Amino acid sequence: MRLFPETPPPGPFRRSFWRSPLRGPWLTALLGSLLLPLVAIVAVTGLLSQIAYQPQLGANAIVDPASDLLPAVGWPTSPAWLYALTQGLHVTVGIVAVPLLLAKLWSVIPRLFAWPPVRTPAMALERLSIALLVGSALFELATGIANVQYWYVFKFNFVVAHYWGAWVFIGALALHVAIKLPVVRRAYRTNGVLRPLKADLAHTRPEPTDDPDGLVADDPAEPTMSRRGLLGLVGGGSLALAAVTVGQTTDVFRSTALLAPRRQVPPGGGPNAFPVNKTAAAARITPAMVGPGWTLEVRAGEQARTFTRDELLAMDLATEELPIACVEGWTTTQEWTGVRLRDLAALVGGEDRELLVESLQEAGVLRQATLAPNQAADERSLLALRVNDADLSLDHGYPARIIVPALPGVHNTKWVGRLTFS
Ligand SMILES: Nc1nc2c(c(=O)[nH]1)N[C@H]1C(S)=C(S)[C@@H](COP(=O)(O)O)O[C@H]1N2
Ligand SMILES: [Mo]
């Protein structure tokens, strides 16, 4: 008995429905070849971001470290712009890949309606792997873009879902590349790698029909666009997205980042006019909590000391130009002044230890972070009290905040109340 009738239902399940003369194995191979390095960059930088979070330390973990597939290899403090680079690439390249991904899906869309949907168990497996690949690619892009837009529509934990979605994607992609490599090779051997791009509209013909996947139309329509025109359209879309995104990784061109919510800086200019992630009001930090009664508690083992802000300001202060690089892709570099974390460690005998940083903020995962010994010991790592020669603004973490080179922005804790070296 047959699972599906021999004749496909009318509409997209019939091969005659798909008439674009541009579709074929060469076009799909070329789009795939262009997309692959981009998704590789996004995947690698995404995994690096998970490593940079140091989930093995304290309460840093968002993804359960017991089930994490990545080794806890630590994260350096140099170069200071390392996380700005990796995370800037992750977000920018991910956004730039969108037009290419859509074009690639368009190029294979007849396969979605292949008839019969499954013929053999092997084919069922292949289709399942494609479903996982396409599903995870769309899921990763949709959740990633929603997150960088601060559009928290999902009811699940973004980090956990985006992380495990990435592994599904990486696995399905590796399988897909291995399976399709011979098809790509043959498409390039038959058509040349770039030869079809030489044809203008008048010379645009369907690809040779030697095509096991049935991408070449049975009944091709007249072309309305050349292949290089299609590539120009897709590439132009990617460049346009890059142009309205990359500005957020700089302080000079931030206003050009039309698609980035963090192009806005606090109004009025001045030393504290750079992007704020979470305002003091949103974090429920009240003026009373940070008033003259504020003290910093510093502990290591049995040793505990408290300092007022004036006492901290009277210590040996250091000034460092360091970036805050947010996981959402924006970066700002400012000149911070404060007490070196290693000097504070020395005051309580907590040198070369892990450092638990706790905020006055009472709720939310970002109220605390754990720094590794190399991060707490770096001579540029500060408990910053001032920025650009002025007191920190309340929104930037007054009375005191953490600034550590190459640390993911999320761990540069604001409104610090307690430091525990252990
Ligand atoms: N206590 C506390 N610290 C925090 C946050 C927070 O929500 N609460 N946000 C973090 C994030 S995600 C970033 S990117 C940086 C941004 O610092 P800024 O707002 O001064 O630019 O602060 C970090 N420190
Ligand atoms: Mo952030």
Average pLDDT over residues 58-69: 89
**With DSSP H G I counted as helix, E B as strand and the rest as coil, what are the percentages for the chain, rounded to 5?**
45, 15, 40
What value does the mean pLDDT of the chain take? 95
The preferred substitution site among 147, 262, 265, 278 for testing ligand 1, maximizing ligand atoms within 8 Å of CB, is 278
Average pLDDT over residues 374-397: 98
Instruction: Output the CA torsion 164→170→175→177 (10° steps).
Output: 160
Query: Can you tell me the distance from the alpha carbon of 416 to that of 399, in angstroms, rounded to the nearest whole number?
Result: 8
**148 alpha carbon – ligand 2 mean position (Å):** 10
Query: Which tens digit of pLDDT belongs to each residue from 142-157?
Result: 999 999 987 777 888 9
pLDDT over 60 (residue 70): yes
Average pLDDT over residues 242-263: 90
Average pLDDT over residues 95-113: 97
Whether the Cβ atoms of residue 321 and residue 370 lie closer than 8 Å to each other:
no
Q: Which amino acid is at 405?
A: P
What integer pLDDT is reported at residue 264 of this predicted model?
79
Q: Measured from the CA of 415, which atom of ligand 1 is nearest?
A: 1
The terminus-to-terminus CA distance of the chain in angstroms comes to 69
**276 alpha carbon – ligand 2 mean position (Å):** 9
Closest residue (by CA) to atom 20 of ligand 1? 396
Name which of 220-229, 252-261, 303-312 the model is least confident about. 252-261
Q: Measured from the CA of 396, which atom of ligand 1 is nearest?
A: 20
Average pLDDT over residues 81-88: 98
What integer pLDDT is reported at residue 67 of this predicted model?
86
The contacts of residue 200 (CB under 8 Å, 6+ apart) are 226, 228
- Cβ-based neighbour number of residue 88 at 10 Å: 22
Whether the Cβ atoms of residue 359 and residue 414 lie closer than 8 Å to each other:
yes
The contacts of residue 61 (CB under 8 Å, 6+ apart) are 53, 55
Q: Measured from the CA of 361, which atom of ligand 1 is nearest?
A: 1
Query: Which tens digit of pLDDT belongs to each residue from 316-345?
Result: 999 999 999 999 999 999 999 999 999 999
What integer pLDDT is reported at residue 266 of this predicted model?
87
SS3 325: strand
Closest residue (by CA) to atom 10 of ligand 1? 410
* DSSP secondary structure code for residue 223 in this structure: P
Closest residue (by CA) to atom 6 of ligand 1? 366
Q: Answer yes or no: is the C-beta of 84 below 6 A from any ligand 1 atom.
A: no
Q: Answer yes or no: is the C-beta of 324 below 6 A from any ligand 1 atom.
A: yes
* Ligand with an atom nearest the CA of residue 413: 1
- Cβ-based neighbour number of residue 225 at 10 Å: 15
Beta bridge partners of 306: 297
What integer pLDDT is reported at residue 4 of this predicted model?
86
The preferred substitution site among 404, 412, 415, 418 for testing ligand 1, maximizing ligand atoms within 8 Å of CB, is 412
Query: Which tens digit of pLDDT belongs to each residue from 12-44?
Result: 999 999 999 999 999 999 999 999 999 999 999
Whether the Cβ atoms of residue 333 and residue 372 lie closer than 8 Å to each other:
no
pLDDT over 70 (residue 1): no
Average pLDDT over residues 127-132: 94
pLDDT over 60 (residue 224): yes
Query: Which tens digit of pLDDT belongs to each residue from 194-217?
Result: 999 999 999 999 999 878 788 999
